[in-house]
Amino acid sequence: MVKDFENKYALILGGSSGLGYASALKLAENGMNLIIFYRASRMQATEIETRFDIIRSFGIQLLTVNSDATREDKLDENLEKLKTFLKDQKLSLLLHSISKGNLKPMTGDSTLSANDFQQTIHSMGISLYSWTKALFEAHLFAKPAKILSFTSEGSTRPMKSYAAVSAAKATLEAMNRSIAIEFALHHITSNCIQAGVTDTLSLSMIPMYEELKEESLKRNPNGELTTPERVANVVYLMTREEASWINGSVIKVDGGESLQ
């Protein structure tokens, strides 16, 4: 049986849990070879390796790198790891799934600082361009290639203690539009996927996340939450050749939740 992405390669930034991991599973199931960057402590290592073993069971090539993908000073070192693994192969997909931000209020105790904003915007927004630029200049993108990243309704809808992440997501979407324009002639497209409220570890870190889930269930016409697997299905669709004319878009994957 020929798999859709056999002999193709993808780089996933943030692929040990949540949307990134679900996407990795879906892509591996369809033959995509993977490079996964993640950040984890030694205590988390056993559980994460068990997840990666599931990916390996699909018979694909897999490189996992426990490194902070947001660090500019590590970029050259990480590129060398990619080149060694890829040899003469190129990347058909860059999936940005980095969730590293400050969730603090703007008033009261322990409020957001300017540095909190800067770190969050860099990690969840600007790093998309840093990796795109580095991969492009290293000639590691295939022709054609796709860039996908995860945004949220919070880019335009304010929530308490979400200001820094909201700013980062707005930056991510701006980066996405500019990359779509400036890299199009190099056969590279860029799109954001806006998932509905999804019960992941990242969501659980948001203050009042239980209230968010309850509100989402009321707003969603299906009466259900978005799941990582539903989002991964759209990553799969967007990676297919048939989606090549979609560029610079924010694609909502929320079952209609944002309509209400």
Q: What is the mean pLDDT of residues 198-216?
A: 80
Q: Which residue has tokens 């800067």?
A: 118
For the entire predicted model, the pTM comes to: 0.95
pLDDT at 195 over 90: yes
Distance from C-alpha of 87 to C-alpha of 82, rounded to nearest angstrom: 8
* pLDDT for 1 beyond 70: no
| pLDDT at residue number 241 | 96
Q: Is 201 exposed, middle or buried (0-12, 13-18, 19+ CB in 10 A)?
A: exposed
What is Dmax (Cα atoms) for the chain? 59
Residue 130: CB atoms within 10 A of its CB come to 16
pLDDT score, position 37: 97
In the chain, beta strands by DSSP E:
9-13, 33-38, 62-66, 91-96, 141-151, 188-195, 250-253
Average per-residue pLDDT in the chain?
94
